Amino acid sequence: MAEGIAYELARQRYRPGTAPPLRGDALPVPELLRRYHPDHGPNARTPLAVGANRGEPCQPELARLLQANALIDDVDIAGAAMLTTEVLVVGGGGAGCAAALAAAAEGAQVMLATKLRLGDSNTVMAEGGIQAAIGEDDSPQRHFEDTLRAGHFCADPALVAQMVMDGPDVIRWLIRLGMQFDQEGDGRSGHADLLRKKPGGASAARILSYRDYTGLEMMRVLREAVELEPRIELANRSPVVELLSDERGRCAGAVIYQLEGRRFVLVRARAVILATGGAGRLHLNRFPTSNHYGATADGLVLAYRLGARLRELDSFQYHPTGIAHPAHLAGGLISEAARSAGATLINGLGERFIDELAPRDVVASAILRECEEGRGIRRDGQLGVFLDTPSLEAAQPGILAERLVTLSHLAHRCGQDPALEPFLVYPTLHYQNGGIAIDGDGASSVAGLYGAGEASGGLHGRNRLMGNALLDILSMGRRAGTAAALAARAAGGPIVGRAGIGHVHAWQRELTLAGLPLHTQAPQLFPGYANFDLHAQRGAAA
């Protein structure tokens, strides 16, 4: 990494309001990604040695967890209390809530277990908006084509088609739940249209938002709906540490660990939906992250050990505009809404170097290129480029206070006025492009196990469009919840048969035969700097 240009010199070269021309040495996209994106390079991938994806490439730090031993053995759960439910949903973000609500609407008894509290998730941190083709100048076909193109044509076309067709109904459902959206028009005609914005990589304006905290508003109505639904039993502060399997290898429930009571509880279920989110808090490739505290790839680890196939395990999204300075806020997200509104990226020479509304992997790689080649800006040991918010405010007075509220709050935490001083930004680990391989109902390759949201794969290929994450979690969450409830109803009668962690013993044999260590354990549950030790916790409680 080059040293970069001193901040003071970069500020002298920066001219707000002058709109510098785009530098004309852009690399072809494949070459730009190959040379600068973190998913590429000599140490970006390693083949998996065990499991359903044996021999396929995986990000090395994630591979270590996927090929780890379980956190528990039979002795840990001997005598543990047992609960039963028809559908167990793991994860309290948008996908988990949508799945739980859909399952309950089908008449199923649902338990929703979440590691932290209901709503503590990446959903609340999604600022920019949700995509849905509702405009007269737009169509699901265009949305479909944009999504496939942005994902480098690696997504599952059937899943993408399903998602984009769900878009308008998802918006109607959210409005019925009470969610607010930004509107345009003066209302004199008796109605106002939903405000639509154009995201990077899209061919039409189809982002619907509520200011720049759309996910927070969405999570508000989802959380309220879950808490008011009598068929949903909520288990806060209860991470899942292992799945249960029956004698046929089906998923038969899960083992949860109650953080407050410091005890294991076995939950028998006819169907389990993993909606555990992403992997940002693993800080892959040593990047800062925009993700919430619990995003440690738990669902991938648990599903893989049970035998589920995964996909795109070497593909992650690095959002272009994470905070670079001050260091204690590194990785905090500045929404794409700022670039969508017109904010530009400026290097230490005062140059504009990329179309800010290109797909995210392209913009992030372009920023990394500037930093690698010495045109980045260095301030107090932190490297990045400028996001030109002063010029945005000058061109559209009031936009920072009225439409980019979260950005203004973040600027206050950074100790700066975004109308006068540009942000220093650098890519931040933002999204897990792949995950559990699912079908159109969210079903995995293991009977009884479903996936939804960021824990699942197939909808985004190798790069995700802004706004498709919030659509994904609701489209797939609702479908998985409905399918799981219908499967539970079809099974009928009381839950019978044995369930345990026999698959863990088979997994340990597979690890041993592959020469892999048994002392590495996963899921990690919390980031390394949390200093959380499950067995030490239990020992202290005893």
Q: What is the pLDDT of residues 166-183, one digit of tens each?
A: 999 999 999 999 999 999
- pLDDT over 70, % of the chain: 98
- Whether the full predicted model's pTM is greater than 0.75, yes or no, is yes
State the pLDDT at residue 192. 67
The residues, ordered by sequence, that sit 6+ positions from 4 with a Cβ below 8 Å of its Cβ are 348, 371, 374, 375, 376, 377, 378, 383
Q: Using an 8 Å Cβ cutoff, are 103 and 485 in contact?
A: yes
The residue type at 422: P
End-to-end CA separation in angstroms for the chain: 49
State the pLDDT at residue 494. 74
State the pLDDT at residue 542. 55
Q: Using an 8 Å Cβ cutoff, are 90 and 113 in contact?
A: yes
State the pLDDT at residue 191. 55
State the pLDDT at residue 185. 72
State the pLDDT at residue 537. 76
The chain-wide mean pLDDT, for the chain, equals 95
What crossing angle do the helices spanning 157-177 and 214-228 adopt, rounded to 10°?
70
List domains and CATH numbers for the chain: 5-36+321-429 (3.90.700.10), 74-315+433-499 (3.50.50.60)
Bridge partners of 90, per DSSP, are 113, 274
State the pLDDT at residue 496. 72
Q: Residues in the chain with pLDDT < 70? A: 1, 186-192, 538-542
Q: What is the pLDDT of residues 124-142, one digit of tens each?
A: 999 889 999 999 999 999 9
Backbone angles phi, psi at 152, to 5 degrees: 60, 30
State the pLDDT at residue 186. 55
Q: Indicate which residues carry an active-site annotation.
A: 319, 339
